[in-house]
A and B are shown apart, each in its own frame.
Chain A
Amino acid sequence: MSDFSATPAVSPPVRPGQIALRWLLFSLLGLFALFYLMPLFVMLTTSLKSLEEIRSGSLVALPREVTFDAWRTAWSEACTGIQCEGLRPYFWNSVLLAVPAVLISTFLGAANGYIIAQWNFRGANLIFSAMLFGCFIPFQVVLLPMARMLGLMGLAGTIPGLIFAHVIYGIGFTTLFFRNFYVTIPGDLVKAAKVDGAGFFRIFWSIFLPLSLPIIVVTVIWQFTQIWNDFLFGVSFSQAGTQPVTVALNNIVNSTTGVKEYNVDMAAAIIAGLPTLLVYVVAGKYFIRGLTAGSVKG
C-alpha cells in the first residue's frame, strides 16, 4: 500500500474483503428496496386486474389480462356514500385546496423568514421561537378552536376555510425553512441595497426572492405533501361537496355494496397519491438544479 502513496492519481487497490463488504451492503439495500416496493407492486397489479381474477388468482401474481376498468371506476364512478361520482370531484377539491394553501403559506414563510433573519427588531427571536413552537402542536389540539374560529369567520365547511387552517398550521414550518436559509445570506447585501435606495419590499422582491429557489422548492415539496395527504383537517372542516381526495378515498374504501372491489380501492389509492409523487419528480429536479446553479462557472 505504501508504494502507492506517492502516486495519488492511481486509486489504491481494493482488497477482496472490501469487495465482499460492498456486495453485502448493496444486496441488503436491494432487499430493503424490494420490501418497500412490494406494496406498490401489489397495488399496481391489483388495480389492473378484474375482480374475477383477484378472487381466483394469487395476490402477487401479474395480471393475466390488463384492464383499466378499475381506474375508470375509481376516477368517475365509484361510490362515496350515496353519491357515485368517483374521486374526480374530490381530486379537484384537493387541487383547489392544496395549490393556494401551498402558495400562500410558502410566500408568508418567505416574508416572515426575511423579516426575522434580516431585519432585527426587538422581540424577533421571541416571535421566531413562538412560531417554532407552533410546529410542534399536534393537529388534534387545534381541532376545536379552529372549528370555532372557522365558524365565526363564516368559513366552516368551505374550501377557503380548509386553506386557512392549512396556511396557519404551515406558517411555522415555512418560516423556519426560510429563516434558516436567509440567516446564511450576508447582512451586507441588505445594507448595500439600502444605500442603493431600495426599501423593505424592494429588497425582498429583487434580491431575496430570486436567491430563494432551492428553499422555495424544499418548502413547496414539504407543504404540498403535508396538505395533500392531510386527512384530519379534511375530515373535520369539510362537508359534503368540499371534501378533499383523502376523505373521499376513505369513503370509497368504506362504502361497499356487497362485493369489496379491491381493484377499485387500489386504483383510487394510487390516484390519490400520484400528485405528491409528481411534485417530487418535477420539483426534485429543480431542487438539484437550484443547489448547483451557483457553482457552475460560465
Chain B
Amino acid sequence: MSPILNIQSLSKNYGAVEILKDVNVAIDPGDFLVLVGPSGCGKSTLLNCIAGLEPISGGSISIDGRDMTQVSPKDRDIAMVFQSYALYPTMTVAKNITFGMKVRGVDAATQARKLAEVARQLQIEPLLDRRPGQLSGGQRQRVAMGRALVRDPKLFLFDEPLSNLDAKLRVSMRSEIKKLHQNLGATMVYVTHDQIEAMTLATKIVVMKGGVVQQIGTPAEIYNHPANLFVADFMGSPAMNLIPARTQRAESGIQIEITRPEGAPMILQGPQVQDLPEDIILGLRPEDIIEAGMRSGANVQAAKCRIDLVEPAGADTYVVSELGGRQVTARLHAETKAQPGAMLDLAFDLAKVSFFAPDTGERLN
C-alpha cells in the first residue's frame, strides 16, 4: 500500500528562524495521524504546510502519490477544520456547507443531496437555516465538520478542533470524531496539544518539540517506549515518573540504586542483559508502581517508601513519595489504606521500565 501522505525532509523557515526541521512522515490510507506537542512546537505550521496554506522552505509533500509541494490548497483535495471553526458569518449553515461545492461548480441537485446526507450524519438538520452567530460552540463545531465531510476529500485536516469546547463536550465530540473516522475509513491528520486526545484518537502519533519530530509511532509505542525524556514526560497523565538512579554491575546482573530521603538507598534488580551507564534516569509509569502484593511477576520488586501525599481520584488513588530527589507518583487501588506520613510497601514492576541517559535524554533500552 503506497502512502496517502508522504512528507519528506520538510523544512520551514521564517527569515532566519527555523520553524520546522527535517520532518519525515508517511501515513497509509485510513490512518489517523495526530501531531502533538506543546504550543510553539510547529505542529500547526506543519498542518498548514500540508494544506498548502504556508509555503515550505525545503523538502516535499505528496498526497496520494502526487507531488503537491507547489500546488495551491484548493487543488490538493483536502478539507480542513479550524480551531476557530472559521464559519462564514454572513452565510447560513446550509450555505456554509455547500460553499465549497458552489465554488467548484457542482450542480444544485448534487449539492442538495450531499448537504442532506451530511446534515443527517451530524444531526444538524434543524440548524441549516441559521447563521453561525446563532449557534452554540458545539453546534458550530459540527457545522465546521460538515463543511469538511461534504467534500469527501483524500485527506481531512483538523487544527485543534476541540480546544474551544468545554470539557464535557470535548469528550463527546472526541468520540464522535473517532466514530466518524471508523465509519468513513477516511485518512485524517489532527493537531492537538492535548496528549489524551492524541492517545485516544490516533493510529499514529507524531510528537514534536521545537520544530523537530521527537518520535513517530502507534499510541502504544509512544506510551510504552518513549524515545526520549521529553516524550516520556509529555505523553501520559499523570506523567511518567523519571527517577535519577545509579547502576552497579553485580553478580546477578545490574543493580539500580535510588536514594531515599531517609534510610538506606533503595536497590532494584535491573534486567539481566543490559549494558547501562553508571548514571541513568529510570522511567516508570504511575500504574507500574503499585501496592506490594497486588501484582506478581519476575520483574515486580517491593520496597518500603514514605508516603507524602494521598490523592483519591475516584477510580484510583494516587500517592506521592520522594525517591531520588523527585516526586514519584504511584497509582493504587481506590480502597488503599495509605496514609500520608506513614510507610508503605510499594511494588515496582520493571517489565515496562524505560532507561534514559541523563545528558542526552535519549532512551537506552
Contact = CB atoms under 8 A, between A and B. Distances in A.
Asked if A and B bind, the verdict is: yes
A196 B80 CA distance: 9
A207 interface: yes
Given A188-B83, A294-B89, A195 B99 contact: no
B86 A189 contact: yes
A195 B78 CA distance: 7
B103 A192 contact: no
Interface in A180-200: 186, 188-189, 191-199
Nearest to A186: B84
A198 B53 contact: no
Provide the main secondary structure of the chain A interface: helix
B103 A195 contact: no
Interface in B9-62: 48, 51, 53
A125 interface: no
A194 B53 CA distance: 8
Contacts of B223: none
B340 interface: no
A67 to B, nearest CB: 51
Contact of B82 (A191, A197, A294): A191
Contacts of B131: 298
A22 interface: no
Given A188-B86, A297-B134, A196 B51 contact: no
A298 B134 contact: yes
A195 B79 contact: yes
A189 B84 CA distance: 9
B90 interface: yes
Contacts of B90: 207, 210-211
B314 to A, nearest CB: 37
B12 to A, nearest CB: 16
B73 A194 contact: yes
B137 interface: no
Contacts, number: 66
Interface string B86-103: 111111000000011001
A202 interface: yes
Contacts of B91: 210
A294 B86 CA distance: 15
A199 to B, nearest CB: 8
A188 B134 CA distance: 19
A197 B100 contact: yes
Nearest to A207: B88
A253 to B, nearest CB: 48
B71 to A, nearest CB: 12
B53 A196 contact: no
A279 to B, nearest CB: 24
A218 B103 CA distance: 31
A129 interface: no
In this complex, the interface size class of chain A, counting residues with CB under 8 Å from chain B, is 20 to 34
Interface string A210-226: 11000000000000000
A206 interface: yes
A297 B48 CA distance: 34
By CB atoms of chain B within 10 A, which of A186, A188, A298 has the most? A188
Interface string A154-189: 000000000000000000000000000000001011
A116 B118 CA distance: 36
B295 interface: no
B82 A211 contact: no
Interface string A277-298: 0000000000000000011011
Given A196-B103, A197-B74, A298-B130, A191 B51 contact: yes
Nearest to A297: B134
A195 B151 CA distance: 10
Interface string B308-326: 0000000000000000000
Contact of A188 (B73, B79, B84): B84
B277 interface: no
Contacts of B84: 186, 188
A167 B79 CA distance: 41
Contacts of B51: 191, 195
A1 B14 CA distance: 60
A199 B134 CA distance: 27
B261 interface: no
A195 B74 CA distance: 5
Contacts of B100: 195-197
Contacts of A193: 88, 99
Contacts of A188: 82-86
Contacts of A197: 74, 100, 103-104
Contacts of B363: none
B133 interface: yes
Given A196-B100, A210-B91, 12 more contacts: A186-B86, A188-B85, A188-B86, A189-B88, A191-B51, A192-B80, A192-B87, A193-B99, A195-B53, A195-B100, A196-B103, A198-B74
6 contacts: A188-B86, A191-B51, A191-B53, A191-B80, A192-B87, A210-B91
Interface of B: 48, 51, 53, 72-74, 78-80, 82-91, 99-100, 103-104, 130-131, 133-134, 147, 151
The 4 closest A-B pairs by CB, nearest first: A196-B100, A188-B86, A210-B90, A192-B86
